[in-house]
Each structure stands twice: as structure tokens, then as C-alpha cells.
Chain A
Amino acid sequence: MTTADLIGKIIQVVGGLAIFAAIVGLLFFFLDKAPKRGKDYWQLVVFLAPALILVFLGLIYPAIRTSLLAFTNNRGDFNGLDNFVWMFTQPAIINTLVNTVIWVLLVPTVSTVVGLAYAVFIDKSRGEKIYKALVFMPMAISMVGAGIIWKFVYDYRQSGTQQIGLLNQVVVWFGGEPVQWLQTSPINTFLLIVVMIWIQTGFAMVVLSAAIKAVPVEQLEAAEIDGTNPWQRFTNVTLPGIRGSLVVVLTTISIATLKVFDIVRTMTAGNFNTSVIANEMYTQAFRAAEPGRGSALALVLFILVLPIVIYNVRVMRKQREIR
């Protein structure tokens, strides 16, 4: 990179921000000049329209287009359900679908359970902040970075030579033979899942920890006077108290898991039976030049997420009605 490039990049950023500010400023300037009578209307337009237009162009329209693409072949001709037939007859793709289900079952539950346990254990302890920061840190790490970190942990060297991957070293310490972790199906899928759990546990922990603190102390004290043991207090008082947060955490992690792409891509590139839908979609659409097949996979992914959307929308609706 040359200095000229750098200056160009700085100009772009500063210029971009300035133009953005100017556009927003202009919008409000015209809003002030708008006729008194329709002012409420114009106000709504100025505040809402930019976001709505962007969301429509960026998400709604493309999603519809992609849904249609799912019924075409690689030349763009309509081919009915061929792509779906292909999907459910290719052993590799069926494997991908099964993997995705394993991911979405394991990641949210394990991260939530571990995160919750951890949050309870460290609650009000000395050094709580540090404890939290340590487990939360992976959240700040990109999934590509996380992929590299864990690839290093799983690294394999021939038996007899020094291991440089921690996991194999542990196996060797216990007298075992080193294993090609990332190539050994089906354990490799679970090892990739560990990475996602590693990232998401911190998220679950932090949200649930705050929820636990919000459970009224009086209720817990009352239960204690009633002679309940800590486990009963946890299941009878704390758990119901944090139910809402649990739902949020599970939903969030499930959606994140369904979309997981970077981890698989950096660690195994989808080989050795580890592919998931989000990764396969990219492979089909871009590498294999079959956008129809890629879109069909995207559609399946969307259908998988749909129940979660519907559930959350129902909850939202209740909320908005209270207002």
C-alpha cells in the first residue's frame, strides 16, 4: 500500500461521513421548510423513509428474488422442484442438512446451560468482573479468528513427534494416539460445534447473569425462610424469573447458529462431512456456479428459521398491544 492509497482511503471515509451528514442535514432542512399543514406527514417520511427504503432494497426485495431463483437452473430457466430433488438425493447435501440440525440443537442448549451455570456460580463472588470478561472475550473475536485459534488447538502431528496442538498433546499425555481431529467424521462436526459454543456461551452468560440479578432478593429470601435448598430456590424462583431472558438467548443463538459460515469455512471448508447449509449455499452459488441450488438451500434455511420468527412475532405482538 502506498501513501497515495492511504490518503485515498482516508478521503473516502471522511468524505463518506461528510456526504452522509450533508444528506441527513438537508432532509431536516427541508422538513423545517415543509408546509405547516402536512408537517406530521413529512416528519414521518423524513424519519422513517430512509431506513424503510434501505431495508426494502437490501432485504425484502432480494429475499423474494432469491426465492424465485431457487426454482431455476444454472441458465436461469425455470426447472420446477429439480433443485430440491437434487438436494434430497445427494448424500453429501443430506449430510449437510443433518449437520445443520445437529448444530442448531446443540449450540443453543449447551451454550445456554453452561452460560447459566457459570453465571449462577460466579454470581456476587469476588472477581466476578474478571470471571465474566474471560468467558465473554470470545464474543469479540471474529469467527475467522476463532477458527484459526481452534485449528491450532486441533492440530495433528504424526504420533511419535512432538504435538503442537493442545488437544492431541492431552491425548498423548494420557497415553493415547494422536488423532486427525478435523478429518475424523463424525467427531469433527462436534469439534466445530465446540468453537461456536465457545463463542456463544459468553453471550448467554452475560445476559442471564443480569437477569439473575434482577430476580427480586425478597423472593429468594422468602424461599430461604421456607427452608428450601439452593437447588429448589433456583428451579422455583430464579428460573421462572429469567424465563423471558432465556427465550431471548435461545432465539438469538439459534439464529446465529443457523447462519454459521465462517467457522466451517476456515476450519474444514466443508470437507469431511462437516458442511452446513450456510456454507454449502456459498459453495453452490459461487464455486459450483449453480445459483439455483444455492438459492434452494437458502430457502430451506429460511424455512428452518421460520418457526423461531413466528414465535417471536407473537411475543412482540403481545408487547405492542400492551402499549
Chain B
Amino acid sequence: MSLTTHRRILLPLAAAGIVGLALTACTGDVEAGNVADTDCADYEAYGTFDDNPEVTIGGTIQDDEADRLVESWADFSTCTGIEVSYQGTKEFEAQIAVLAEAGNAPDIGIVPQPGLLARLAAGGWLKPAPQAVEENTDEFWGEDWKQYGSYDGTFYAAPLMASVKGFVWYSPTEFEEKGYEVPETLDELTALSEEIAAEGDHKPWCVGLGSGDATGWPGTDWIEDYVLRQSGPEVYDQWINHEIPFNDPQIVEAFDAVGDIIKNPDMVNGGLGDVSSVISTEFGDAGLPILDGECSLHHQASFYEGFWPEGTDVSPDGDVFAFLLPSTEAGGDKAVTGGGEFPVAFSEGEEVDAVRAYLSSDTWANNRVALGGVISANKGLDPENASSDVLKESIEILQDENTVFRFDGSDLMPAAVGSDSFWKGIVAWVSGDSTQQTVDAIESSWPSS
């Protein structure tokens, strides 16, 4: 009896083991770069590490973007001898505070929200930025960006990449064929939308708010853009700092203006379905109908450039291009919202400092931007490195002293709102809740402390 039992258990276990080994045997080893083939001049300042220390980096960036990120430090790694291993997971934002508290965090975490940075700093888990990073930041970034990377007077991290939110993607070819003009004011935008809708060929807008358990966030960008443009930066600041309540009439106004588009069956959802598809469509797929001529306008940040299929011509007279969501009045300084990441450190060490210094340098910014798809607010960045005109324009907007720049509001609000009830509120709102219901619910979820 016992012998057969043994055999019966061992066999499947052995089978399982063999399958496992077979699977992994094929994954193969990654070849290290060769120092001789690489131009190491830019990296001498960071020193060389003979014992090949490893620096682990965690973040939310995944897929192709992560491939490019890894590529951006390949030469650095080869020249300095520091092994940089990156791990992107969707759960990063949810887990990082837990990991930090448990002392389990990676050496560097690429945090996409100043709110989260503040929370981690308040927990005492972050290491302040080393001298080199601070110098780079003073040299290459504006004071406001430095503020986002600071908490309670201590500076923790320089920004990494940035994105300018509030672009409206469109097809220049279509615009030219049908004689549409790029709108200069919000009213003109509305008029344009109505014009396209009236033609009845297709719905003017395509919108997708889906993003796993973060579903709804693209909707928060819409609201933030409208608040900033309709009510101005002062109200925007009061709103995110909770100096005015979330259900303030000015916020309601922004919701209603956005609702006229994304909850309006006449306006959405070109090439994707009816209003209900606004939530079910993943944000990455949402703009693609523009390429098929089934949709004319798509609101998404500059990073969306990386989502167009390979071979798409992104230029002022190509397949797709983008204009900045206009202000209420034509002319004047541009007001934009944007986002960015901050590589914060959870551990100390020369190799960690070297990686941090590199990531805050103009060398890195130029390297990464040249790989395409993203931009940085780094002033040492040469706009010519940008992979498209949209990104070039974004860099210029960020580097322009006159731009009114505000960080993505939901990233600055307490996590209970910015990473939870605001998203969920958007989902419920688009699914049918009234604006007042929605803003009241979000207001009541604002933590009292």
C-alpha cells in the first residue's frame, strides 16, 4: 500500500519537475554588453564597479516601454559594471508601500505619483537624494518639478520621464479632406465635434477608460484638463488641496463639460461601440479607430504616441497628429497638466547613487528620448531627439517658461481619492450616475485626516 502510494505521488511530481526544467532551460541567458564596443566617455563620471553590483529597480512601466527603459541604461551598465535589473508590475503602486514597510522594496522604485512619494517619505522609508542628483535637478529642472520630488523640505528624487496630458489626437489627412480646422478654443472644439457628428459618417470621439483595477483614470485626466482650462490654475490648486470641496460648482461644471462628450451617444464611441464601450475599452486601444477613419478625435497624453502601431506616420500631415486641448480663449499662455515619474531610492550604496545620478542626468534623458515614445522635462534635453513632432512640441511646452504647468491632480490627491474613489466615481458616472451623485460620493470619501 505505502509503496504504491509513494510511486503515485512521486510520478506526477517528477513529471512536474521535468516540465518545469524543460521550460526554463530554454529561456536562455542574456549576453552582457562588451565594453570595447561601447563609447564610455559619457559614463566615466559614474566610476566603474569591478564586482558588478546589482541595482534592482521596480516600477509600473511594462511591455514595450519597459524594453526601451532597459535599453536606455544598457551602455551605462556595460561601462560602469553595475547590473541594473528592472521589474515592471501592474501591482507596483499597490504594493510598494507594503514592501517598503516590510523592508522588501527594490533599491529604486519608479514612483509615478508625487502623492505616493510623499506617503513613502512620510513613512521614513526613502533615502534623500545624493548630492549629484540634487545638482542635476537644480541645473535641469524647474523649481516646481523639484517640489514634486520633495517632501517636508527634504529632496528625494529628480523626475524621470514626463508626459504632457490633454493632447487631442486626430488624423491630419482626414482634417484636410473634410476641411476641418484645428480648434483654438473649447467652444470651437465643441463646434467641430458637432459638425463631425452631424455628418453622420462616424462618431467624432473615441474614448477608452479601461485599465484593469485602475479603470477610470483616463477620465480623471479629462476632468483635470477641463478644471484647469475653465477655472484656472488657482482653482485647480485649491481643488487638489481640498481647499474647495470636490463637489464645488466649478468642478461640477468641468464634469458636465466632459460629460457632454464622453457620456453623449452622439459623440462616442467611434469605431468602438456605444457609450458603454467607453469603460470597457482599454485606454491603449481606444485611439486606434482613428487610423481606420471610424473616429476623428481622441484625448490622451503625449505618451500615447508609443501606442500607435509600428509604421504609423505621426506628423502634422501624416496619419495621426495631436493638438493641445484648447483653452477657453484663443491665444495666451498655454496651461497644461502633465505627469511624471520619480525614481526614489529605498537603499543606499555607491552603486545606487550612481544609478540615481545617471537617471537624473541629461545624458539619460537624451538617451531615453531618442529611443522614442516619451519625453522628459529635463532642460538639457534636445527637442530634436524626440521621436515625433508631437513629442517635440511637448518638450518645448515643458521647457517654455510661460507655460502654466500643473501636475496630474489625481496623483496629488490622497490615495483614497486619487487612486480609488475618483477612478471609481468616473466609472460609475460614465455608467449612468449623475454628476452631482458622483462628486458628492467622491467628496465624502476624502479622508478627514
* A–B direct touch in complex (beta carbons closer than 8 A): yes
Q: Which residues of A contact B420 (CB under 8 A)?
A: 283-284, 287-288
- Size of the chain A interface, CB-CB below 8 angstroms: 38
The answer on a CB contact under 8 Å between A288 and B419 is: yes
Q: Is B272 positioned at the interface, with any CB of A under 8 Å from its CB?
A: yes
Structural contact, A287 and B441, CB atoms closer than 8 A? no
**A91 to B416, Cβ gap below 8 A?**
no
With A74-B449, A269-B215: A288-B415 Cβ-Cβ less than 8 Å: yes
Q: Given A1-B27, A180-B280, A272-B427, does the pair A283, B445 have CB atoms closer than 8 Å?
A: no
In the bound complex, residues from chain B placing their C-beta under 8 Å from that of A265 are 213
Shortest A246–chain B CB gap in Å is 30
Q: Judging by beta carbons under 8 Å apart, are A90 and B95 in contact? A: no
Interface of A, helix, strand, loop or mixed by DSSP: loop
Distance of A216 Cα from B449 Cα, bound (Å): 65
Find out whether the CB atom of A2 lies under 8 angstroms from the CB atom of B444: no
Interface residues of B in 409-424 (CB under 8 A from A): 414-416, 419-421, 424
Which residue of chain B has the shortest Cβ distance to A73 in the bound complex?
B449
Residues on B with C-beta less than 8 A from A185 are 431
Do B276 and A2 touch across chains, with their CB atoms under 8 A apart? Answer: no
- The residue on B at minimum CB distance from A3 is B29
Residue pair A272, B273 in contact (C-beta under 8 Å): no
Tell me if A262 is interfacial: C-beta within 8 Å of chain B.
no
Q: Does A270 contact B (CB under 8 A)?
A: yes
Given contact pairs A180-B276, A269-B215, A287-B93, A74 touches B447 in the complex (Cβ within 8 A) = yes
A-contact bits for B214-228, CB 8 A (1 contact / 0 none): 011000000000000
Scan B273-290; emit 1 where CB is below 8 A from any A CB, else 0: 100110110000000000
Interface pair B215/A286, CB less than 8 Å apart: no
Tell whether, in the assembled complex, residue A289 and residue B416 are in contact, meaning their CB atoms are under 8 Å apart. yes
Q: Does B97 contact A (CB under 8 A)?
A: yes
CA distance A195 to B122 in the complex (A): 41
**Distance A284 CA – B447 CA, assembled complex (angstroms):** 12
Question: Once the chains bind, are B447 and A287 in contact (CB under 8 Å)?
Answer: no
Chain B residue nearest to A264 (CB atoms) is B213
Say yes or no: is A232 at the interface (Cβ < 8 Å to chain B). no
Q: Is the CB of B444 within 8 A of A272?
A: no
B448 touches A82 (CB 8 A): yes
A3, A74, A271, most chain B CB atoms within 10 A: A271
B197 smallest CB distance to A (angstroms) = 18
The one of A73, A92, A273 that contacts B447, using a Cβ cutoff of 8 Å: A73
Within 8 A of B (CB), among A166-190: 180, 182-185
The residue on A at minimum CB distance from B273 is A158
Residues of A within 8 Å of B29, CB to CB, are 2-4
Flag whether B94 is at the interface (Cβ < 8 A): yes
A251 to chain B, nearest CB (A): 29
In chain B between 123 and 139, which residues have their CB closer than 8 angstroms to a CB of chain A? Answer: none
Contact A286 B213 (CB under 8 A): no
Which residues of chain A have C-beta atoms less than 8 A from B379's C-beta? none
Contacts of A289 in B (CB 8 A): 97, 119, 414-416, 419
19 new A-B contacts, CB < 8 A, other than A2-B29, A272-B279, A287-B93, are: A1-B27, A73-B447, A73-B448, A86-B445, A92-B441, A158-B277, A183-B276, A184-B276, A271-B213, A271-B216, A271-B424, A272-B431, A273-B428, A283-B420, A287-B420, A289-B97, A289-B414, A289-B416, A289-B419
